[in-house]
Amino acid sequence: MIYLLCVLLLLIGLYGVLVKKNLIKIIIGLSIMEYALFLFFAVIGYREGGTAPIITKGFEKAVFVDPLPQALVLTAIVIGLAVTALLVSLAVRIYEKHGTFDIRKIRRLKG
């Protein structure tokens, strides 16, 4: 069930990217897509009754959730940060040139 929620979130993000006309909203849509996937990874790694996979005093032999997806999510978050930062700076530069975030007004290139 919760997997479907992640897919739904992914589709909401995709909708935002495809339909919205504002550069910032497109960036938000992309971020939603990414976060849906992070959630999906975290859900995959869940084990029944598991705790955080950190060995501390008194928790050496507990049931841990799968730590690998969490490591992957951390890496993917860092990549997502780089992507978002670059996209935002591009959007700001485009705003400087055109004075608008509306893609209908700044479209010069033809497919």
Partner 1 sequence: MNLIVLFVAIPLGAAFLMPLLGRVARKIPDILANLANFSLLVLALLATKQGLVVYKIGGWEAVGGIPIGIYLVLDGLAVLMLLIVNVIGFLATFYSVAYMERYTDKPRYYTLFLLMIAGMNGVILSGDMFNIFVFMEIAAIASYALVAFGTEAEELEAAFKYQVLGTVASCFILFGIAIAYSLTGTLNMADMSRVIAQQGIGTPVFFVGTLFLVGFGLKAAIMPFHAWLPDAHPSAPAPISAMLSGVLIKAIGVYALCRVLFNVLGLGKVSSFLYILLVLGTLSMIAGSLLALGQRDFKRLLAYSSISQIGYIILAFGLGTPLGFLGGLFHLLNHATFKSLLFLNSGAVVYSTGNRDLKKMGGLSQRMPVTGTTSMIASMSISGIPPLSGFWSKLIIIIAAIQAQQFIFALLAVVVSIITLAYYLKVQKLAFFGKLGEAWQEIKEVPAVMCISMIILAVLCVGLGILLIPGIKAVILDPAVEVLYNGARYAQLILGS
Partner 2 sequence: MRGMTLIVKTITRLIVGLIFLYGIYIVFHGHLTPGGGFAGGIIIAGAFILLVLAEGSEELSTEVKKWRASLFESLGIFIFWFLAMLGVFAGTFFFLNLLPKGKPLELLSAGIILPCNIGIGIEVGAALFAIFITLAVLKGKGDKE
Which positions lie near partner 2, rule CB under 8 A? Answer: 52, 54-57, 74, 78, 85, 88-89, 92-93, 95-96, 99
Q: Distances in Å between the alpha carbon of 43 and those of 1, 10, 39?
A: 11, 14, 6
Query: Helices 23-44 and 67-98 sit at what angle, rounded to 10 degrees?
Result: 180
Q: Which is nearer to partner 1, 47 or 57 (CB)?
A: 47
Q: Which two tokens stand for residue 52?
A: 């955080």
40-59 per-residue burial string, b: 16 or more CB within 10 A, e: under 16: bbbeebeeeeeeebeeeeee
Window 22-61: contact mask with partner 1 (x via CB under 8 A): -x--x---x--xx--x--xx--x-----------------
Residue numbers at the binding site for partner 1 (CB under 8 A): 10, 13-14, 17, 23, 26, 30, 33-34, 37, 40-41, 44, 68-69, 72, 75-76, 79, 82-83, 86-87, 90-91, 93-94, 97-98, 106-109, 111
